[in-house]
Structure 1
Amino acid sequence: MGERCCAVLRVLVLQAAWALAGGQVRYSVPEEAKAGTVVGRLAQDLGLEAGEAEARRLRLVAQGRRASVEVSGASGALLVSSRLDREELCGKSAPCALRLEVLLERPLRVFHVQLEVTDINDNAPIFPAARRNLSIAELATQPGSRFPLEGASDADIGANAQLSYTLSPSEHFSLEVKSKDENKISVLLVLTKALDRETIPVHQLVLTATDGGRPSLTGTMELVISVLDANDNAPQFNQSVYKVQLPENTVPGTVFFKLTATDNDEGINREIYYTFSDRISAKIQDLFKIDEKLGEIRTVGELDFEHIQSYDLEMEARDKGTPPLSGHCSLVLEVVDVNDNAPEVWVTSLSVPVPEDASVGTVVALLSVSDRDSGTNGRVRCWVWPAAPFGLEATFAGSYSLVLREALDRERVSEYEVEVRAEDGGAPALGARRGLRVPVSDVNDNAPLFAQAVYTVLARENNAAGAELARLWARDPDEAGNGRVSYSVWEGAAGGVGAAAGSGWRAASSYVSVDAESGRVWALQPLDYEELQVLQFEVRAVDAGEPPLCGNATVQLFVLDENDNAPALLPPAGSAPEAGAVAAEAASASSSSSFVGPVSGSGTLWAWAAWGAPAGQVVAKIRAVDADSGYNAWLRYELWEPRAKGPFRVGLYSGEVSTARPLDEADGARHTLLIVVRDHGEPARSATATLSVSLLEANEAALAAGSSASSSGSGSRSALGVDVGGAAASAATNVWLVVAICAVSSLFLLALVLYGASRWAPRAAVLSGPGPTTLVCASEVGSWSYSQRHSRSLCVADGAAKSDLMVFSPNFPPPPPGAAPKDTQPEPSALLHTPKHPNPDWRYSASLRAGMQSAVHMEEAAVLRGGAAGPEQQWPTVSSATAEPEAGEVSPPVGAGVNSNSWTFKFGPGNSKQGGPESKKQTQVSFLLRRKGESSQYSQ
């Protein structure tokens, strides 16, 4: 330290010496030297001796400001009295010299002393402000931009004031220092990297200034660089694509999504509003609406999954910067299907009408079924109602065929109302229905069908030509031409019971005609019962289809007898032809009118009787026949003259002339009898016969009978039906015995045959066993049938036989015996066991008239006759029990509704109450007699 001081003093002395030499003393002192520091030995340097400075009062002259140095009075040294601050004394001036005046009194002498204050590095660099704020726009300022900064100042001078600058590390900024001149430099802040406010909104840097002193001093200034926001950030969505699902039945006005976008800018650049992209069509914008501020999207219209399944909404978020920037996102709206659409059924093809003969599997219609919904909601199942006769077959997806599953029948169902039903798989399920009208076209598959297989028609004889007999109708369920029926007579035999002898076969079309359109049956000619009793023919009904079909019906035309024939007298058995001619002439003379009084014919019948013949002796038999039938042919014989009681009488129904009492001589030799034969028709018709009876002796009567028998072929006086007794009584008796034996034997054999047939033949029991009928007649007058199960030929004796008796065998078992109700007609079996006497004025009713459709007549004398001279079985001519003991019993059918009626004869007396030697066990037999030349039949 001492060495340093010595060095300083030595310098000062040298300077003083120099100053003295130049007339001025110069000293230098570093600033900030401590008080008391000797600047220099002023007195010595001024040449004063020691002590002289005090004596001469060496002092500094003040120059207006306080000096920082003083002169020591004792030593005369220049001392630092207070802090020296060069920067305060001189500022930036260099060098910093203080001019001091030193006054030396005694003698007064003034010395100028120059004190140089040397600089030391006592001042650090100082910036104008400790913090400097800068604002730099982030996009407007490009890298390389320079921003001037105020440099720091240093009160020192020289090297102590030479400053260097440094900047805190930064990737965006650097420092550039340039010297403007020797004394000034410029400090520039250089932008080396673009600023991003959103990344670093504020940059804080430290600028450091360092002087050149030793040690160096530094000064700092904080640079706060605020990055000004530029609208360089578009609004950003957190997703580029948003997906949302919305049911299609969403109510309009429903908010279904809210957009949120962010903008890293600030201020107005940060304010965002939401809109639809310009690329979205106006139609979609009509369905949706967005709140520009809140970003809420809501529905405006109704959604339809079947129309659009999804919407791709391009959304845009814009800020309010200048220029505005926008961000985009896509909102994919998937419309969720709701089962809001029912299935739809279309008929793409319909082939109608369907022929009724179409085969199973025929395609009737093609259907298309769809549902606009999807998934389960669009899965459709279909079926047909009713299930028959059609069905559905799936061809491919959504297509079905309506096919025929069962055979059709237009006559049963002519048109079908088919309903195709469809139902989807939604919850709840929706359905649809489609009605189809399927008409069935007709095919000629039905033949005309009559209501009855057999028609029974009743027609009275002598009808007018062209009269309508019946009306037939055949039903054909087909339509149009297939159901248009035409009628015609199918040729068949005009046969039947009672056909005219020798007439041969005649076609039915010669009797009747059928109207082709109406089916009316017309008579082409008057019908004659005596020629034709039953006409059976077929009527054919043919439709107009292709091919035509036909149906047949059998028509049984029964001719009802009218009383149009008078009784005709028959010649006696075995008589000459001329005798028969005489009788026929006599009968024809009176056949034109009813009997009203004695009518005399042109021929006379002769008979002989023996004197003394007992009462009841048959002397003759009047034989007559009526071509009519039934009651019209039921003959009765009456003795018209003489009216008074004579010796003869006539059997009412037998026509036998017998003695009423024994004959004596008083009766006279000849008797003329006028016999009237009448039928029971309305009005009645009659014929008369004149019988001349001669009374002879017994031997003469026998001779007359013998001669009559020998000349039966040519005698002109043969009498009609005369049998003579008397002298030939024994011969007559023998004949009667032979006839009786034959009759009894025949009955016995017949009984055996019937018994054997009933035992061994399965169809022999015709009286009680059921059997099929060949003809059924049902009309307003009754019902009856006849059967031809078993037939046998029966010989007919000479005489004009005719088929005026139709007999019908019953095919039902007889009911148990019992009283018939009063209000019902008696059964045939009841009539068999309950014979009744006829009333002379008896008329048959409509129910009985049904049984009289075929005339009933039986030849009384010629049937089952052993011979002309033998005894004969008495037969009735009509049903009912007669009062006469010889009469048999015939039961006509009575009562409508009986399924089978028959005319039944009983051999033997008709009345069980009337006894007699000739009473026999009753045997029931059914007969069918035909005309002469034809074999008569009877059925068992």
Structure 2
Amino acid sequence: QAPLGVTPEVVLIIAQSITTKYQTYEEDDPGTEIGNLSEDLKINLSNSSQTSFRFMHEANSCVIQMREMDGLLTVRERIDREALCPLSPRCLISFDVVVFTNEKFQLVHIEIEILDINDNSPQFPSNERYIEVSENTAVGTRLPLDVAADQDVGQNYIQSYQISFNSHFGIDVQRGEDGLKFAELVLLEELDREKEDSYIIQLSATDGGNPAKSGSMNVYINVLDYNDNSPSFEKSLLKVELAEDAPVGFLLLKVHAFDPDDGANGEVVYGFTDDSSTDAKRVFQIDSHSGAVTLKALVDYETKKSYEFKIQARDLGMNSVPSTCKITVEIFDVNDNAPEISIKPITSVSEGVVYITEAAAKDSFVALISTSDRDSGSNGRVTSSLQGHEHFRLHKAYGDTFMIVTTATLDRERIPEYNLTVVAQDLGSPPFKTIKLFSIRVSDENDNPPLFSKSVYEVSVMENNVPGSYISTVIARDWDVGDNGKVTYKLLDRKVAGGVPLSSYVSVHPVSGSLFAMRSFDYEALKQIEAEVIAIDSGTPKLSSTTLIRVEVVDQNDNSPYITYPYLFNNSAEVAVPYNVPAGYPVLRVKARDVDEGANGKLTFKIVEDVLELFSINKDTGDIVLKYGLTFMIGDTAEIKILVTDNGRSPLSITASIHFLVTEMQPSEDQIVFVSQPTDMEYLDLDVSLVFIIILAGGCVLLMMAIMIVGFSYLKNQRNGDSNYNRNKNVFSNNPLLSLPSSYSNMHKHKLLILIWTEMNADIFNCLYSAAEYSDQLSVKDSGKGDSDFNDSDSDISGDGCRKALHLNVHATWAIHYPQPWRLPAGFLKQIPLPGRTLATALT
């Protein structure tokens, strides 16, 4: 509520602009309530919890305190009206307040009138005043007295002057053109120096306060002997006008005082009276002889509009009595001041820059533009305009004050800054124009989420990587700035294969967005990792977006093959073989696995050690077959070492030893095959199953025919009583083995070597070479070197092989030399014991 029972005056200027007026006394105690804006503006605080009141930084608001929550105005510190508005009949403190309520800003202009109290007493310039009066001074002569000063105004200012009782002097109180009262002594009776040469009069000044205050001084009047004529002015009061642009030295006027006396008593000099103000003496000067008043310093209408001073004229005679003339100089205005522009933003501002949030709605208040012109009349009337961009316009608030408001919503990402121009022009002739440039910077709001360049990133990484190694980088762009555009990255953790947290596999650097491996990947355990990364800005509220990183684990050859069949113990296995199987019999299919994939998991089989050279292996399937018929005794063993290798760039392998044990088990007929052998490689690398089946079936048929022929021949010889082959050196002549089937007649020509070992202790082998034509289908082994039959290392066409001595006790051994010659390796019979009766058959 307003003090003194005065209802605050609320004036609605325009929408969103209100002027409120209050009154308060000077010297009120700090905390004295002046008014409550929320009540006076009828703002219901319960409807808006975010209502706030704050100053627009007016200079005089330092003595006024305002409560932000409800706009309660109180006295911050004691107000001295005389210091704030010296000699002003009306003292106002004005400032602007911004009210934020219901999501809108409202501008309130406050005017607080400071009422005067009678706290100052009238004071004279000095406590004493000396006046000299000639004894022949005429009755009614007025003697100027010092004017008392009172800092108070209105009724509290000086209302009357009094003097102590004196029969010769009286007092006359008058009011000047400025409305202030002054006193003059009036001579009531003629003076007689010889009777009384001095007088002491007490001059008092009293104000109109309640209670009244007064001040006094002593006036000492000395009566002089008469120079009976004093200078007299033509006029005791002169008023002149002076343009404010008058130059220094300008002649304002010339005064003249006449003294009819002769000589020094009639010679007049001019000067300022003692009570003339220092300001008048600074601005004007008087020629003491001519009485010319000229301009000593420049004047300014906007600073001071009028001057008053007194000129006294004194003759040079003895006991000269001066006379005075009051001069009033009125300064008139010329258009010498350009308009001034003041910009008061709603937010904090640096030099020439105003800030506004991009979240501001249309018609939001941005800044307050005030224009002023120190000139008066049309010279001081100002028109204002705003140039620069259509998103802003001027909206009149009050007087020459305008609001800059938005005409549309703002987007910092499109236009971050506006350069505007305020133009103020007065109506003088010629007019003065002022242009002020300033910028409006749109402060960022977090209205843009970070955006990834892709919704899915696909990268690959080799397995067995080093933990902590770099994988890839994702980047999200945020068009906001500052914290709103500062992006951090985070991995959205989840469970992957086996219930293991994703964060144990990969991590994301929160600043760079780089993806790192937390562990060494194993392709065989996890072939693909899908990591979801979220990019979050640092604004309020935080905005985010996600992307998917699909990490493909690339297989490496990091797993060695392992043999699944036969079952190994200490890297070896024992396999049973029938005792009488023929050449081509599949004794074992080695099965192996490699957990790698592709070429890294494709396996190749190879025999790396076969002392007896009895076996061959299919490099793709791992099938091990006999190269020739097996005639070991039951219980004998043959050992080979196989190598299983993958096809990786750096191949890995495993070796195993296979021990073949000859047993009494009978071979399965469907397992007896002939093996086709090309001349330039160990196996023909064909994947066509049909060809392989045909070859295998043909080989089986031929092998069965050969067995039947040998069996029938053997039985026939037994019946003829020819059982002792070691006694007959020409045994081959009638041997049915030499009778080849006629179906072989059209096959290629090859050498057939038949060696007969008799049971007797013989030293010499009889060798018989006979030419026959045999098919390549019967070939089981060549030298493996890819050479021709003729140059094969196993060939023996010289007959020297027949002359080798063997000390053996065997029943019979026969060897058939097929497309390529074959011979037993050195030490073969020495390495393998042949107890009792042993049938050894070698086919090549």
**What TM-score does the superposition give when structure 2 sets the normalisation length?**
0.39
* TM-score normalised over the length of structure 1: 0.36
